[in-house]
Structure 1
Amino acid sequence: MTKLISTRQRTRLLGATALGSALMVAAGGGTAWAQGTASGGPQVEELVVTALKRSTVLQDTPIAISAVTGDTLAKMGVDNISDYAKAVPGLTLVDGGPGARRIVIRGIQGAGEAQVGVYYDEVPVGGSPGTTSDSGARSPDLKMFDVQQVEVLRGPQGTLYGSGSMAGTVRVIFKKPLYEYEGAVEGNIFSTNEGGMGYEANAMVNVPLVEDKLAARAVLFYREAEGYVDNTYLGLKNVNDETTWAGRLLVRFEPTENLTIDAAAFVQRTDGASSLVSVKAGDYVSTSRAELPLYDDYNIYSLTGRWDLGWGTLTGVTSKYSRSQLQTTDVSNFISNLRNNPALCASRNGGLPCGPGEFATYNAYVNTHTPSTLYQPQDVDTWTNELRLSSNGDGALNWTVGVFSEDRDAFILSQQQGVDPTTGIAYSPARISTVRTIDDSLKQTAAFGEGSYEITDKLTLTAGARYFKYEKKIVGETTIGLDLIGARVTPPTTVSSKEDGWVFKFNASYEVNDDIMVYAQAAEGFRPGGANQVIGLPGALTPYASDSLVNYEIGAKTAWWDNRLTLNFDVYQIDWDNMQVSGRTPNGAFSFISNAGAARVRGAEIEAFLSPMQGLQFQANASFSDAKLVEDQINPDVNAPGRKGDRIPYIPKTTAGVAAQYTWPLSDTLDGMARLDANYVGSSYSEFRPTNAFRQKIPSYALANVRVGVESKEWAAYLYVNNITDELAYAIKSQSAISAGTINGITVRPRTVGLTVNKKF
């Protein structure tokens, strides 16, 4: 059995919890600040969350968790995760564009399997591994309409949510069928600076089928948006168009008052093109020599049963998730730069040095392989099952136990194909330079349990554990080779990686009074290792191990002024060992994963909600994260590894967000509404080492959105402006051997002005 953390770390984990418990007991003599207002005024909304796989009140849940309601999401105009990330402290994105976003919580960012679990209702939905086994970089991003709320759990959630929740968990909870007729439609038209027009159309209908027994809820979504990136090399405008449609059907069946069965089907189809820009070429400009289409299709089917036994609830979930995705990359400049290469020319000249004639022949050969793209479609099918039993009631002991299984299979095709130098469109029939295929399978099983016990009416202790076992198998084959990049024809080759072990969680919470709770927690997180399928790497198919971390945390949840103000904050330290890091082959052509070094993240988070008067609400959040290496990444396989003291790439030290919303009566049936959302993201870097020639600084930026409108119980209309100042804000910047001197980037959408109208029935 693999031991994920050392004895020294385990001792520190237990010691941190004991220290936190002592601090909470010592705090028992304190009193709340004065509440000098009369009762009966406006209060911050009390939210019920299911983060612990049972219902608890948000302010009574002793973990770092944020919840954004569906009403708030609608008022913010949220379309996807990048829109609501600004409302959550400690949540950031490494944004590679549609279908290529990495979700980051508390600075835990790196290549490999996802470090943040993403759940849509009860279904865990993962990324596509691709040729680099980097599924975490392709987190799913389903459209947000008719959502009940979004819950973001910060810190490891390994005991209840498993390997994908090493740094935290994001849960999107959809509205469920009701036993009454209900409907809604929404239209949205918008125009983007530097781009063109776009529109959205959404609809929902809820139908009771059998009184108090059977109901269905159907949701449709459609979005079409012109792009805002111009390709000056090919002379094309607005190349990053997007068309997305989605549908969701939920059916609820309650044959008895104690049994609820929910069936759900969700499909989403996205067609578009890369939003990559060439930073030095101008604002929102691409110099790609090829068109870069993409598609990202989802199918999710799930069946959830809940049986109320009186003393407990038995929940069973089975789900099937499939994803088909295409990503394309321009490699024209990389191949072109291989011209006049003495070593490669000599290798094609029988090992002899090349003269002018040999170089001419060699360069003509290189020219036959450029311009070109990497064309990489991939299919992922995942079957997950979970069975758990949770206690009911308000007794001193509350607990959850369960078992989990996951079976994921992925197939990836990677081929370099030629494109027409005039149009940038791939030739048909295809002109193929090299082809490889990858079969990637991951099987996981786990048993988990978590229980809390009220030692006194103020002090509660919680402990959790999860036993896991996984096996990952990679089968790689190169059917067409290309000597220019070191791709040799290889038969199907298999390599496996497997591991088992335990993760633990300890938590102590103390209620100082009805309005103040403090807690301390120590929790472990992990994610599976795997195997590389890489050509040009010595050993070709090499396994790498899991990495793990321990999170130590102390926090407080407080309410003031007759609950008109809630103020929650926490401080934490994360020790991350045996990091999975990304490297490249010596020629820069292929990426792979290895284990090297350790990191420490120290940070603080604060979140406040204020409702000082009827109709007026304020929200603010901020996070500070100091994410650095504490050990050199000494590994001969990793190119330009980091050194002790280097910052983790793409992690800003500071983020902050503020929101203000005011609603006032215009008449007996109409209200006015005005809302401002603003957020700040600090600067970060694309690589560990300051001396790395490819390292790019991603500058800090501040963005603001404003929304004004009129609303009634049946309809509403809002005029909005996103990115009011039209800030040129880079979500990422990067450079590599593949980009051949070009600095690539993804930007936040330029200023966008729009009108949204909705109607409820």
Structure 2
Amino acid sequence: MKKAWLLCTAISVMAFAAPVAAQSTGAPASDDIDDAEAGTDVIVVTAAKRVQDVIDVPIAIATISGDELEQRGIGTVSDLQFAVPGMTMREDGPGSNTIFLRGIVNQYGNGAVVGQYLDELPMTLTAFDQLDVRAHDLERVEVLKGPQGTLYGQGSVAGTVRYITKKPVLDAFEGSLAATLSAVDGGDIGWGFENVMNLPIVEDKLGLRIASRVEGGGGWQDQPAAGIKNGNDQKLVNIRAKALWRATDRLDVEVMYIFHRNKVELGLGYENPDRTVFVAGDPSTVLVPKIQENHIGNLTLTADLGFATLTSATSYIDNDHQYPFAYQCGLDTNCDPFEGNDDRFDTGSLFTQEVRLATQDSGPLQWTVGFFYADLKDNLIADYRTFDASSETPFVSIFTDRFVSEASSESYALFGDVSYQLTDRLQVGVGGRYFHDKQKTASTDFFFLVPDLTEQSGSFEDFSPRGYVKYDISDTVNFYASVGSGFRSGGFNSPGDPPYEPENVLTYEAGIKGRSADGGITFELAGFFNDYSDMLRRGLVFNGLNFTSQLSNIGDVEIIGLEGGISVEAAQGLTLSATGAWIDTEVKAIDAADATNLPGDALDYVPEISFSISGHYEFDWSADMPGFARIDYSYRDKVSYIDRTTFDVFPQFSDSIGLLNARIGVEVSDVSVELFATNITNENKWLDPYHQWRNANRTRPRTVGVKVGMDF
């Protein structure tokens, strides 16, 4: 109650002070959203699947423009987590990320808790298969916080990350080229080439935009016994082609294709403090490299019907993922000492279809309705080689096993959101999503001489409602409050083990956001309370020969948090900004038969305090030589991992981490040169608390480099 009182007090104080800041100088900002293209300070987002000013959307949103992404050196979601306080990750090598937000943390279960979208394209297959999105040629990134189930489905229990790409320009030929060269402390030279080509094939009618990036080198991890040095060098090719056909004045047709391939010899990113990797049994064993390759297609039709906009988005993903997995159970654990190496081969596909209708006028009634369908298939082959780490001959295998599984999910949803402007200042809204998911799984374990796939099937359904109010304190400051629910499907354990039920999250949120009348100050503050019920956890169960994973719904969790940010134009050309989050989590009730957690435990992977501070200065060295200088500092508290079925010592902790990055650039005519440094203090710390299993990554060493680019 004391924490909740402090949270409400902070929001009330900010609400009282906001009008003063908003009225400090200048004339009111325009209410016309189109002014964003004319250079005003309006920040356009499409979080509600229609174009809005960010301060008019009644949820907390972190928005980073494409220019800021480049100037901060944010290329992947791994980089993004340090720019968005309250966002953390479990990372299993490039392209294998589990994203967490606002204390809703779960690396187990059937679906993701945070979804990823590239334009209209869902980039999430399963909880562990969040496809590798490269922040190249983007308009912006939007991080939507809190349950987004109404508009974005069950994979958005905690939030949604949206990458908005640049559209083809239909009346101009333009493009860019850039090359990057970097040196990693104690590691290899990294290099990258990127280009953008915009072709107006038929002026004002048909255009094509191609953005591509290739990368190599940049590794620093070694496997000395195998003679491998800098084995986490990446060999990346990422190509995105996007065509826009303006078929009529009322119909746009967009087609997008993405090819992505990345190969890493030491693929999972786990490492020891001395920057070496662990391999079970014989340390000279060369494991299979990590290779991820996907082909992605999307067709989006947008029709102006006069009274509303009709959108149809059809997508298909083909994903092929090969990776090794080395682990050790025995350091401060209560399981018999054993270790192993796996070769895993995962293939999957995802077909989605969304059709929605959204009002486009500026009247008091605003609404969106739609239908969503998804067909997911995922197949896994895993070859296990397990060793007795405590025997006199530890390199002798206990057993070799092959595990095969096939899984599918066919789901559909009906969703809608409607709001009404009751007065000039007060808006109310409600939304909801009905979701139905039919799952099938089949698996076999050759070690136990199971000749055929053992099938399991079942269905899960849910209705997720949402309600909200927004009050305009002034023309440029809004207060909002909302309550909404999120849902994640249940699923199946190995044959013979009981299935697990769905999870549910009920979130209460209140906040304010706005800008000063001259746009020199922008700010936001939000408080939230999450009632997280039937949370899933994995426990280890001994089956007589080995430990196997079993998921179960262990109990209820409460999460309270406060987050905010402010950006100030302190002087001409100088912008100072800060964002931060405080999150407190506690397991409140538990299934007495489960020992993974106990009441009073905190949740895994949740930092209590995290923040980011930035300074950006734009200057002119001469009349035709503009430049910029930027410095960013990000801090995150240590995060924990608690599992009483495995560890004698708990919780396990990561390190507290502070990262300092800087970049300076100058432009001469159409040529730009930038110098950059990341992790300037060369921190070598645990990012992940899971190091007792030898399954944790560490901060990337100090990297310095230069980027040269040219626009044409």
State TM-score, norm by structure 1.
0.84
Deviation at 1:715, TM superposition (A): 2.1
1:393 maps to amino acid? D
The SS at the match of 1:650 is coil
Name the counterpart of 2:441: 474
Name the counterpart of 2:697: 746
**Is 2:58 the counterpart of 1:62?**
yes
Larger CA deviation: 370-379 vs 573-582: 370-379
Select which of 249, 258, 261 maps to 2:241. Answer: 249
**Is the 2:626–2:667 Cα contact (8 Å) retained in structure 1?**
yes
Name the counterpart of 2:147: 156
Name the counterpart of 2:606: 651
Q: Name the CA distance, whole Å, in 2 between partners of 1:706 and 1:150.
A: 21
**Is 2:260 the counterpart of 1:268?**
yes
Select which of 183, 205, 208 maps to 2:197. Answer: 205
Larger CA deviation: 79-88 vs 681-690: 681-690
1:413 maps to amino acid? I
Q: Name the CA distance, whole Å, in 1 between partners of 2:278 and 2:413.
A: 48
Select which of 481, 490, 494 maps to 1:529. Answer: 490
**Is 2:286 the counterpart of 1:291?**
yes
Deviation at 1:202, TM superposition (A): 0.3
Name the counterpart of 1:548: 504
Q: Name the CA distance, whole Å, in 1 between partners of 2:691 and 2:103.
A: 21
Name the counterpart of 1:351: none
Q: Name the CA distance, whole Å, in 1 between partners of 2:310 and 2:676.
A: 45
Change (3 A) 1:199 1:30: closer
1:563 maps to amino acid? G
Select which of 122, 125, 140 maps to 2:123. Answer: 125
1:74 maps to amino acid? E
Select which of 733, 739, 747 maps to 2:689. Answer: 733
Larger CA deviation: 383-392 vs 542-551: 542-551
**Is 2:46 the counterpart of 1:50?**
yes
Deviation at 1:274, TM superposition (A): 2.8
1:199 maps to amino acid? W
The SS at the match of 2:684 is coil
Q: Name the CA distance, whole Å, in 2 between partners of 1:197 and 1:176.
A: 33
**Is the 1:119–1:125 Cα contact (8 Å) retained in structure 2?**
yes
Deviation at 1:326, TM superposition (A): 1.4
* Percent of residue pairs bearing the same amino acid type: 30
Select which of 64, 68, 74 maps to 1:72. Answer: 68
1:501 maps to amino acid? D
Name the counterpart of 1:171: 162
Select which of 638, 651, 665 maps to 1:709. Answer: 665
Change (3 A) 1:612 1:236: same
**Is the 1:90–1:154 Cα contact (8 Å) retained in structure 2?**
no
Q: Name the CA distance, whole Å, in 1 between partners of 2:668 and 2:556.
A: 55
Q: Name the CA distance, whole Å, in 1 between partners of 2:70 and 2:591.
A: 44
Change (3 A) 1:308 1:712: farther
Select which of 517, 526, 529 maps to 2:478. Answer: 517
Larger CA deviation: 397-406 vs 27-36: 27-36
**1:70-92 CA deviation, whole Å, 9 max, x = no partner?**
01111111210121222223222
Q: Name the CA distance, whole Å, in 1 between partners of 2:517 and 2:334.
A: 68
Select which of 344, 348, 361 maps to 1:393. Answer: 361
Q: Name the CA distance, whole Å, in 1 between partners of 2:614 and 2:706.
A: 20
Deviation at 1:416, TM superposition (A): 2.2
Change (3 A) 1:557 1:339: closer
Larger CA deviation: 30-39 vs 81-90: 30-39
Deviation at 1:45, TM superposition (A): 3.4
Q: Between Structure 1 and Structure 2, whose CA radius of gyration is higher?
A: 1
The 5-angstrom pairing of residues 70-469 of structure 1 reads 70-110=66-106, 111-112=108-109, 113-127=111-125, 135-179=126-170, 180-272=172-264, 273-277=266-270, 279=272, 282-288=273-279, 289=283, 290-292=285-287, 293-330=289-326, 373-416=341-384, 433-469=400-436
- CA-based RMSD: 3.0
Q: Name the CA distance, whole Å, in 1 between partners of 2:655 and 2:144.
A: 28
**Is 2:621 the counterpart of 1:629?**
no
Q: Name the CA distance, whole Å, in 2 between partners of 1:303 and 1:722.
A: 38
**Is 2:541 the counterpart of 1:585?**
yes
**1:447-506 CA deviation, whole Å, 9 max, x = no partner?**
00001100001000010011111111101122x31xxxxx44352111112122210000
The SS at the match of 2:150 is helix
**Is the 1:377–1:414 Cα contact (8 Å) retained in structure 2?**
yes
**1:665-714 CA deviation, whole Å, 9 max, x = no partner?**
11111112110011000011121559743642112110010111212462
Deviation at 1:524, TM superposition (A): 0.4
**Gapped runs of 5+ residues in structure 1?**
1-15, 128-134, 342-369, 420-430, 482-486
**Is the 1:473–1:497 Cα contact (8 Å) retained in structure 2?**
yes
State TM-score, norm by structure 2.
0.89
Deviation at 1:339, TM superposition (A): 14
Q: Name the CA distance, whole Å, in 1 between partners of 2:552 and 2:514.
A: 43
**1:347-388 CA deviation, whole Å, 9 max, x = no partner?**
xxxxxxxxxxxxxxxxxxxxxxx9962111111100000000
The 5-angstrom pairing of residues 569-584 of structure 1 reads 569-584=525-540
Change (3 A) 1:30 1:378: closer
**Is the 1:93–1:102 Cα contact (8 Å) retained in structure 2?**
yes
Q: Name the CA distance, whole Å, in 2 between partners of 1:275 and 1:618.
A: 36
**Is the 1:28–1:512 Cα contact (8 Å) retained in structure 2?**
no
Q: Name the CA distance, whole Å, in 2 between partners of 1:580 and 1:500.
A: 17
Select which of 666, 687, 690 maps to 2:642. Answer: 687
Name the counterpart of 2:391: none
Change (3 A) 1:120 1:64: same
Residue correspondences, number: 673
The SS at the match of 2:20 is coil
Change (3 A) 1:107 1:496: same
Deviation at 1:300, TM superposition (A): 1.0
**Is the 1:89–1:607 Cα contact (8 Å) retained in structure 2?**
no
2:117 maps to amino acid? Y
Deviation at 1:403, TM superposition (A): 0.4
Q: Name the CA distance, whole Å, in 1 between partners of 2:527 and 2:624.
A: 46
Q: Name the CA distance, whole Å, in 1 between partners of 2:622 and 2:229.
A: 46
Name the counterpart of 2:460: 499
Change (3 A) 1:291 1:600: farther
The SS at the match of 1:59 is helix
1:49 maps to amino acid? V
Change (3 A) 1:606 1:589: same
Name the counterpart of 2:617: 662
Change (3 A) 1:521 1:371: closer
Deviation at 1:546, TM superposition (A): 0.9
Change (3 A) 1:589 1:45: farther
Q: Name the CA distance, whole Å, in 2 between partners of 1:390 and 1:381.
A: 29
Deviation at 1:30, TM superposition (A): 9.2
The SS at the match of 2:131 is coil
Change (3 A) 1:468 1:191: same
The SS at the match of 1:66 is strand
**Is the 1:44–1:611 Cα contact (8 Å) retained in structure 2?**
no
Q: Name the CA distance, whole Å, in 2 between partners of 1:378 and 1:452.
A: 43
**Is the 1:44–1:564 Cα contact (8 Å) retained in structure 2?**
no
Deviation at 1:219, TM superposition (A): 1.4
**Is the 1:695–1:735 Cα contact (8 Å) retained in structure 2?**
no
Q: Name the CA distance, whole Å, in 1 between partners of 2:16 and 2:657.
A: 42
**Is the 1:225–1:243 Cα contact (8 Å) retained in structure 2?**
yes
**1:14-48 CA deviation, whole Å, 9 max, x = no partner?**
xx9xxx9xx99xx899953474445699x983211
